[in-house]
Amino acid sequence: MVIQFAADFTWGAATSGPQAEGTFHKKHENIFDYHYHTRPQDFYHNVGPDVASNFYNDYEQDLKLLKQAGVQALRISIQWTRLIDDLETGTVDPAGADYYRRVFDAMRALGITPYVNLHHFDLPITLQRRYGGWQSKHVVDLYVKFARRCFELYGDQVTHWFTFNEPKVIVDGQYLYQFHYPNLVDGKAAVQVAYNLNLASAKAVAAFREINQHPDAIIGTIINLTPVYPATQSDGDREAARFAELWANDLYLEPAIHGRFPEALVERLRQDHVLWASTPEELAVIAANHIDVLGVNYYHPCRVQAPDVAPDSLQPWLPDIYFDEYDMPGRKMNLDKGWEIYPDALYDIAMTIKNRYGNIDWFVAENGIGVADEERFLQDEVVQDDYRIQFMTDHLRFLHQAIEAGANCHGYFVWTGIDCWSWLNAYKNRYGLIRNNLRNQTKSLKKSGYWFRQVSATGHVPDADSCSVHVEKSTQ
């Protein structure tokens, strides 16, 4: 099958401020900075975010390398903890503001379009400790002040804005499954945080509509979608999948696109006495401020079965009292990460957006594979990451099929451009098109980087088994 994407399809890469910039000259610690400085042993090989991939100092050279890898658009984030001086008033730190302006200027000079995300897990630790972080609606309003500053400062440079990256991960990591500070397990708080994040996004969209003067500027949000598949077609498994889909995906898609919450989920949470606190005025803001574009992060599916323990047993409320995870026999795995590889789901995501969400404009905002000990594939100073080329090829095949079937998808962004620091996992798994030698911060294209350049230039995705990739020496 010929896989040929349209000439105006965007080929990009994604990263974030906390994972790329390092903590150089930041005004505040975020929750990961604080976690690392208080418990470095929780991070793989005790490696924290202090330097990350040194984008703060290397951005001009890094952007040139990304351009060499065929990156037409780069999704980055503005760190709340770098831009804002006084968190309560929203006053701007001049050095932080100047840094981002220089970065956007450098991107535009190279013909790389900035896709700017306003929150990528970098909640200021002061707001977590003082107010309980995203449990607080005061923090919602402080975030909106930050968003307004971004729109005011960079509206002349940026036309693609995004309110949040993966709000579900904030809920899961901080309030349910203990992989983001403060590592709580509190189902009722998780429900309120999910609501508050949706409210914050809608309020930021409202601020954008008020401030924006650029006729081509758009705003969206970025949601990690994990399509839910029942283990069998039994009533119990299908009901488990129905709730898991409501909780994992519809809880964020419905408010962002349709301006409302899923009725079935609201009713379930109300019956369980864990429904969020809301006001009619807040719900009106959510109803009135829909996104223009959707970013979709996809890595793996979610497979579930009926719970082994009845949900009405005496137990704390958590969303997974209604489903158990299920491992499909014979599945293909990325064993280094523990995630199933199932590219078919990208087609299913596209059809859900087409059929249930008005076929809104969207793009793949993250897709990629992280492999441990990638130096083992180093030959002649180039990482021979054929597994990454195969992974992207397989996903692009299903994405192309979806576009042929009418999906309104306009871009594919790989996670990530340059090997970056990755939360508790630090540098355990590498995801980049570009290798980062941490010993000397020297960066060079991997084989996948040369492959991506060819695909970006032509829109043609060759068969992974037969494609020929011209590899040359390219070091910073």
User: Which residues, other chains included, contact 240 with Cβ-Cβ below 8 Å and sequence gap of 6+?
Assistant: 230, 304, 305, 306, 307, 322, 323, 324
End-to-end CA distance of the chain: 37
Q: Which structure tokens are listed for 242?
A: 């129905």
Q: Which structure tokens are listed for 94?
A: 């001049």
Question: Cα–Cα distance between 102 and 6 in angstroms, integer?
Answer: 32
Nearest residue to 143 (alpha-carbon basis) of 189, 88, 219: 88
Question: Cα–Cα distance between 346 and 332 in angstroms, integer?
Answer: 16
With beta carbons less than 8 A apart as the criterion, state whether 144 and 203 touch.
Answer: yes
Question: Cα–Cα distance between 66 and 147 in angstroms, integer?
Answer: 27
Residue type, 51: V
Instruction: Report the alpha-carbon angle 13-219-162, nearest 5.
Output: 45
Element (DSSP H or E) covering residue 304: strand 302-305
Nearest residue to 449 (alpha-carbon basis) of 11, 109, 106: 11
Distances (CA, A) of 24 to 15, 55, 99, 111, 142: 17, 10, 11, 27, 23
Instruction: Write the DSSP symbol of residue 272.
Output: T
Residue in the block written with tokens 């379009």: 113
Residue in the block written with tokens 């990961």: 32
Q: Where are the alpha helices (H) located in 305-343, listed in sequence order?
A: none
| Dihedral sign for Cα atoms in the order 95, 96, 99, 100 | negative
Instruction: Write the DSSP symbol of residue 55.
Output: H
Residue type, 198: N
Largest Cα–Cα distance of the chain, in whole Å? 63
Residue type, 171: V
Question: Cα–Cα distance between 323 and 307 in angstroms, integer?
Answer: 5
With beta carbons less than 8 A apart as the criterion, state whether 283 and 254 touch.
Answer: no
Residue 379 three-state SS: strand
With beta carbons less than 8 A apart as the criterion, state whether 151 and 162 touch.
Answer: no
Task: Tell me whether the omega of the peptide bond preceding residue 126 falls within 30 degrees of 0, making it cis.
Answer: no
With beta carbons less than 8 A apart as the criterion, state whether 206 and 291 touch.
Answer: no
Q: Which structure tokens are listed for 71?
A: 């990156």
Catalytic residues: 166, 366
